[in-house]
Amino acid sequence: MKDQGILLDNLIGSEKLLNGFSHEEIGDDHVYTGLETPMKENAFDLSDEEKKENIAHLFGQIMDVMGLDLNDDSLRGTPQRVAKMYIDEIFSGLNPANKPKIALFDNKYKYNQMLVEKDITFYSNCEHHFVPIIGKAHIAYISSGKVIGLSKLNRIVQYYAKRPQVQERLTNQIAIELQSVLQTEDVAVIIDAKHLCVSSRGVKDDSSATVTAFYGGEFNTPHKIAELQN
């Protein structure tokens, strides 16, 4: 724990972070740094219970530094509640063991047009400020001869949303996973979301939303893109 703390202190206190830029130079801009969620090689050396114990301890320290009284009835269990929420709920998508099991079925109805699942509600968290991203995902695919249950589309969205995220990465991760599962390039994903790091702090713009899109295969044509956007 001591060595990890020293390493963490060095990382947080570093003058130079992404591509040689400092904290001040990066500012509040949300930088999309790649397809894969940034994870340490030893990310799963600790069990979930060990992670909860460590997080509860560290979060209690944060609360203490802020001046909160951890002996108060209302606050006493907060570090444990936060730790459980992080590991079992809102960041559970970091653990590959929680990836949904997807069964593939033959397309017996020979339906060969696009299938669209709209308004899939998801809750994620901005990896820059650890505050919520709330939005809806719209998914379309054209069967290559195989289909999956409709609810599996929701589960894939939720799995990748339940981790610290950047919306561009979330969009691509969902799309690439669906291409792999469905064995087709013909997948489209559109995400429309509100970022609380924009609406509740910083610029405090409550009316704006962010839209990202992935168009693969047959969807990557002006005609199909226009059809989806309408």
Which of 53, 127, 185, 218 does the annotation list as catalytic? 127
Which of 30, 129, 185, 218 does the annotation list as catalytic? 129
The DSSP letter of residue 86 is I
Verify whether residue 197 is a known catalytic residue.
yes
Give ∠ CA 126-128-133 in degrees, rounded to 5: 15
Verify whether residue 158 is a known catalytic residue.
no
Which of 126, 165, 177, 179 does the annotation list as catalytic? 126
Verify whether residue 185 is a known catalytic residue.
no
Which of 158, 165, 173, 197 does the annotation list as catalytic? 197
Verify whether residue 129 is a known catalytic residue.
yes
Q: Is 12 helix (H, G, I), strand (E, B) or coil?
A: helix
Cα–Cα dist 206/120, whole Å:
21
Rounded to 5 degrees, what are φ and ψ at 45?
-70, -35
Which of 158, 167, 173, 179 does the annotation list as catalytic? 167
Verify whether residue 126 is a known catalytic residue.
yes
9 near 24, Cβ under 8 Å?
Answer: no
Verify whether residue 127 is a known catalytic residue.
yes
Give me the active site residues, please: 126-129, 167, 195, 197
